[in-house]
Chain A
């Protein structure tokens, strides 16, 4: 796999300053995350709100500055790169946002929004080429090319998210960071958009970082999953391995808490999941220890690091598994 690694993130650290009750705090949103993505691979990142999964995505596309760490695109370091080489790389690393209503400019036509990255980079040689590229991209995401002259308010939520995807794949990117791209959509539309993303993955050989809180959705589209908890990856393995045999106690709770659409498999009252942590008072030792059913004394003092376990490239950060 190492031969065709297209994105390599090492020891990413991101912190924000925040103010609570008159005191200044430093919140460590991402605490030493390392990930790698191969050409054509979809890596899912799953975790609860506040676990840092969105910050990882935003840092990779350059919307957030990391405190330390490296982000290499095809072997070239992105952090601190010169503006021209950074611009070229950014054209290859693109983002799809959760809420297409918020991410599309209501006063620009769909065509202008879709072509924006190409316009900025001077990709289009002529107006005709630009229109043709817009039309082809819209068709590629299942929209009528005539949508190019329309405005976002004229579209449904599912159509807007198709536009959100279209603007992330023109000009052809190598990596798409998709941050909860189907969470705002109804299930019937969600399935349509997921199918589209799987088609694009196959047709364009796209690599994707697919960020979601929904393990069902992640299980559908990604081949590997990284589970994040309080800024750290606690388990990473093939998707089926994680869903069918979760090892880390947090992953187990997460998988067990998915509401299964089967009334004969009721879980209410049967599982214990604990209170989520406060980002301001990070526990010593393992961040999951206060909620963990198998925590031992060691977990309260000693932060577990990722180690390889079993097959399928599984890594896990837990003392007691």
Chain B
């Protein structure tokens, strides 16, 4: 299932739109959307003009995510952008929230509320009790049936910042 999150070739718009669709969100990207290496950015008119005029930039505007080994990893900004509209989301308690941003999966006991799909294989945003998006995961057990244990596998979370800082080679 994870493979279906793969970026589709060189079509960056398709990659992002299909990512958003996993959560029931329809996004339309305008012409100010650019790809730099394996990373995607959204630039306003001024930044776009600058980026066009002066090549060699390394980061610009709103960072949306990257393709790594054929898989798309969204930025926290993109997750924030789709949170309100997303159909699939789970709210987790404080303990589960912290463990999730440390890269761990989610146990049934940590889930406070489920919106949208409860079906195994579906992707869902993971939100804390304040409604802030911490990342996303894949449902590994039907949420109506599972009584305990891991039910949502961590795919990507915002704790990646800390892990990146601790491992400078990545």
- Are A and B associated in one complex? no
Using a CB–CB distance below 8 Å, which chain B residues touch chain A? Answer: none
Using a CB–CB distance below 8 Å, which chain A residues touch chain B? Answer: none
